[in-house]
Amino acid sequence: MADFTIDKSYISQRYARFKVGTTTILGYSIAGEETVIQIPELNVCFDAGRAPQFCLTSDILCLSHAHMDHIGGLAYFISQKHFQGMKPPLILCPDEAVDAIERMLKAFRDVERQHSPYQLVGMRDGEIYDVRKDFCIRTHAVHHAGPCLGYTLINVREKLRTEFLGKPSEELAQLKRDGVDIQYKLEVPLVTYLGDTAMGPVFEHQDVINAEILITECTFFEADHRMRAKSGKHLHVAELARILPRLSNKLVILTHVSRRTGLRKAKKLLKATVHEELLKNVHFLMDFENAKDGGDADDLAPPVSN
């Protein structure tokens, strides 16, 4: 019998997973390769990436834009949910991208000769999709190439108006029967996801500033990459340094780091650019144990045959 070993690093891709209070963030994000981030407790996945197995458990998919590293696995996501007997997904996307996405999915249906059901809903800046009475999703215009959106997952709570505080329950019930509006709605932004974006007005939105968790890209870090960031409509760490002091998030998660820089160097440049006090609640999505630097990518690949 031949002597052989199995290198498990090639068997499955590693994904980041960590908890923030009662919220789990599960995902992967490398610029130009794949971005997919799931919030399982809220049944939502942001972007499809290459449709890893874990994202299939989400019934709601929020697509930020139609670049391949964000929607490459969309058709597979839909087909696999149907194949496994799961609920057809609700897919939110920029309204201007609906026709192109539908044409792409039709091509896959023609190739596969099977119709996998889904609901595709086009959204515009500032619109709200009501998932249920206590949960909705609001969209935000972001600053990237082509039609693109960010999304905020919002917990909607009903609160008693101050003028009715302390009144007995029987009186409150009668007021409601009489048609008096005794409650108001309080929106609590839980998670905001911005997909790919450059610096711009979206970072002044209250959902971005006050979300418990903000997930934003920061693609470029090196000084001579500022023009790359500008031309590609991505965020540079020098701009992030101006944004962070305005934010009130419990946690800011950085995604979409370029392999041109790599994670270790990105962390070093972030610390050199941003005041230490502002970094206490900033975390790289891909900063998990034994993460490899982008410059080590060739070391991870199988050897090339001569």
43 pLDDT higher than 50: yes
Prediction pTM value = 0.87
Q: What is the pLDDT of residue 8?
A: 55
The Cα-based distances of 288 to 22, 23, 52, 61, 141 in angstroms read 20, 18, 18, 25, 30
Residue of 213 and 183 predicted with greater confidence: 213
Residue of 211 and 183 predicted with greater confidence: 211
Q: What is the pLDDT of residue 169?
A: 80
Domains and CATH numbers, the chain: 16-287 (3.60.15.10)
C-alpha 247: how far from its chain's center?
Answer: 18
As a whole number of angstroms, the distance between CA 131 and CA 31 comes to 30
As a whole number of angstroms, the distance between CA 297 and CA 306 comes to 19
| Sign, Cα dihedral of 220, 259, 38, 83 | positive
As a whole number of angstroms, the longest Cα–Cα distance in the chain is 85
Strand 149-160, strand 183-193: pairing? antiparallel
238 pLDDT higher than 90: yes
Out of 15-29, 152-166, 222-236, least confident range: 152-166
**Whether the Cβ atoms of residue 149 and residue 138 lie closer than 8 Å to each other:** no
pLDDT digits over 7-20, tens only? 655 555 778 888 88
The Cα-based distances of 215 to 2, 89, 124, 220, 252 in angstroms read 48, 23, 20, 16, 6
233 pLDDT higher than 50: yes
pLDDT digits over 51-85, tens only? 999 999 999 999 999 999 999 999 999 999 999 99
Q: What is the pLDDT of residue 10?
A: 54
Tokens of 232: 């590609």
As a whole number of angstroms, the distance between CA 248 and CA 110 comes to 48
pLDDT digits over 199-211, tens only? 999 999 999 999 9
DSSP H or E run through 137: strand 135-141
The Cα-based distances of 167 to 172, 174, 179, 182 in angstroms read 7, 11, 17, 11
Residue of 180 and 161 predicted with greater confidence: 161
Q: What is the pLDDT of residue 299?
A: 41
pLDDT digits over 103-119, tens only? 999 999 999 999 999 99
Strand 213-217, strand 183-193: pairing? parallel
303 pLDDT higher than 70: no
Q: What is the pLDDT of residue 49?
A: 96
